[in-house]
Amino acid sequence: MRTRSYPFFYFIKIHKLFYTTINEKSTKFISNDLISELIPRALAFWFMDDGVYAILGLYLHTKGFNFNDVYKLAGILHYNFDLNVTVLSHEN
């Protein structure tokens, strides 16, 4: 399976909200600037891409992020949208 990749996304603001370069390696992270950029439409797109509906609520898959960034994201979701967020870790 192949997907399209648009190189111009690499240099725009959205990319900088989720990726940083450490030791010449691109690493996922949650930028503090996300708090002002995460609007309802962006959250909807994110859930359509990495989310899933379950009986108990919605899940947003965040496997590429470290635990501290996931907790930061939980705080941003609570602050921006008054969502009750629980961080879960699933192995495998």
**pLDDT tens digits, 50-65:** 999 989 889 998 888 9
H helices of 1-92, in order, are: 13-18, 34-37, 40-50, 67-81
CA distances from 48 to 43, 44, 59, 92 (A): 9, 6, 11, 22
pLDDT of residue 71: 94
Above 80 in pLDDT, residue 18?
yes
- This prediction has a pTM of 0.79
* Local structure of residue 15 (DSSP, 8 states): H
Residue 15 pLDDT class (50, 70, 90 cuts):
confident
Break the chain into its structural domains and give their ranges.
7-81
CA distances from 70 to 3, 47, 63, 73 (A): 26, 15, 9, 5
Residue 5 pLDDT class (50, 70, 90 cuts):
low
Above 90 in pLDDT, residue 69?
yes
Q: Does residue 57 come out as left (phi exceeding 0), alpha (psi in the -120 to 50 range) or beta?
A: left
Above 80 in pLDDT, residue 8?
no
Pairwise pLDDT comparison (55 vs 9), residue with the higher score: 55
Pairing state between β 25-28 and 57-60: unpaired
